[in-house]
Amino acid sequence: MKTLVKVEETSFGLASRRSFLKMSGLAVAGAGLALAGCSSDDDSSSENNNQMPGLRNGTFDFGGGDTGILTYAYALEQLEADFYTRVVNGNTFGSMFNTDEQAVLADLYYHEVIHRNVLRQVINTAVNNNSQQLLPDLEFMYNGLNFGNRAQVLDVAQKLEDTGVAAYNGAGKYLESAANLALAGKIVSVESRHASVIRSLINPDDAFFAAPDVVDPSTGKNQAKAPSQVLSEVETMGYIQTPFTANYLQ
């Protein structure tokens, strides 16, 4: 089995490729928050907020409150990082995608690995480096997905990116810490760019990048979904093999 590269070992050097933002035609105008409004109408109860991540009845539960939301995001980032790691290390990567497309996908790979690692560090700090309260490395399986098929790879990438944006947008209102909200806002601003550029790779020169299924036409905002809805959709995908629960998230 081919060994997957780690981020520091990858051959996609910054000096040898165009930047992701230049390629996608987007510019960063600061790290403004892109999350949905922080309404308190359906905030988690204080009981849920006090539930820390950890094993419950033999299965890891994300817990509640800020740490639960961050753990939920960490699980999604693990999935995205694993997916793009497999994509850029596939034997047909160079033949399926042209040079510019490879640079874009390599950037997405870098970003997702960074998001995963940053969230892991933040959660570790929140749980005082208690390994029993940190979500373990998840196992993944992509039955039915042909990593040598361009259309299939981009289709899954679109689903993962759209899901990630909706997940952050839907979970933002449950975060109580301004620092955690700022972190999530920075991540979702990047994830929304990922979603846009993947859709542009699928349908170049088309309005697909801002289609109604990702941008609500009545508000002009990205779609937002509650953790329970996102996790149900992720479970349907069938890629995550490690059991977990999210009993304290809405």
Domains of the chain with CATH codes? 59-245 (1.20.1260.10)
Compute the distance between CA of residue 164 and CA of residue 187 in angstroms, rounded to an integer. 10
Compute the distance between CA of residue 71 and CA of residue 74 in angstroms, rounded to an integer. 5
Query: Which one-letter DSSP state was computed for residue 176?
Result: -
Backbone angles phi, psi at 59, to 5 degrees: -125, 140
Judged by DSSP in three states, 244 sits in strand
Give pLDDT tens digits for 102-137.
Answer: 999 999 999 999 999 999 999 999 999 999 999 999
Residue 130: predicted pLDDT: 97
Residues with pLDDT less than 70, the chain: 1-47, 49, 205-216, 220
Residue 46: predicted pLDDT: 59
Return the half-sphere exposure (C-beta side, CA atoms, 13 A cut-off) of residue 72: 34
For the entire predicted model, the pTM comes to 0.82
Residue 188: predicted pLDDT: 95
By the 10 Å C-beta count (0-12 exposed, 13-18 middle, 19+ buried), 123 is classed as buried
Contact 106, 113 (CB under 8 A): no
Residue 37: predicted pLDDT: 33
Contact 199, 187 (CB under 8 A): no
Contact 248, 51 (CB under 8 A): yes
Nearest one of 245, 250, 193 to 225, comparing CA atoms: 250
